[in-house]
């Protein structure tokens, strides 16, 4: 799975917190299983977001939408999201992983998110009094 430089750095930092277990995000009940998507959704609710505002899976939809709008090839996006090919004939013959394009896309995505975090691509909206 191609990751950005920023993503790899975050995972390295997490490893120092989670130790040498099999998962960086272990289940709360047992370290032998990964954290569930429900755990992420509960964390979002505790942060004050309603289920109508955001879900853990919604971040994947957000990434797909933004990457498509930025002009990345839909096939590359779908590969990165690990979506299965729906066309059975194409799935039987196409074994391409397009790793070089996926690496480039993930780095561009991380750089874009970093610019958003620092406010570079955000235009403030002034409200009337």
Distances (CA, A) of 15 to 30, 105, 110: 17, 25, 20
92 or 53, which is more confident:
53
Is 41 part of a structural domain of the chain? yes
Position 105 in a domain? yes
- State residue 14 phi and psi, 5-degree precision: -65, -35
Within a domain: residue 77?
A: yes
- Is residue 125 one of the residues assigned to a domain? no
- Dump pLDDT digits (tens) for 41-51: 999 999 999 99
Task: Say if CB 76 and CB 105 are below 8 A apart.
Answer: yes
Domain count, the chain: 1
For helices 99-118 and 58-69, angle between their N-to-C axes, nearest 10 degrees: 100
Check if the beta carbon of residue 22 is closer than 8 Å to that of residue 31: yes
Supply angle C-alpha 28, 32, 38, rounded to 5.
40
Structure tokens at 93: 């013959």
Residue 44 in domain: yes
64-119 pLDDT, tens digit each: 999 999 999 998 998 888 777 676 766 566 666 788 999 999 999 999 999 988 88
Whether 59 is in a domain gets the answer: yes
User: Does residue 66 lie in a domain region?
Assistant: yes
Residue 32 belongs to domain spanning? 5-118
SS3 state at 40: helix
Is position 126 within any domain?
Answer: no
Say if pTM beats, i.e. exceeds, 0.85: no
């Amino acid at each position: 799975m191609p990751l950005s430089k920023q993503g790899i750095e975050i995972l390295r930092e997490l490893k120092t917190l989670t130790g040498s277990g099999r998962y960086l995000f272990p289940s709360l009940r047992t370290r032998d299983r990964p954290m569930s998507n429900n755990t992420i959704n509960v964390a979002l609710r505790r942060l004050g977001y309603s289920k109508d505002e955001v879900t853990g899976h919604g971040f994947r939809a957000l990434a797909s939408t933004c990457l498509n709008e930025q002009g990345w090839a839909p096939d590359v996006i779908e590969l990165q999201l690990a979506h299965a090919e729906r066309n059975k004939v194409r799935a039987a013959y196409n074994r391409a992983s397009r790793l070089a394009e996926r690496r480039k896309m993930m780095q561009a995505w991380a750089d874009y998110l970093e610019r958003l975090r620092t406010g570079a691509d955000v235009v403030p909206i002034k409200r009337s009094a």
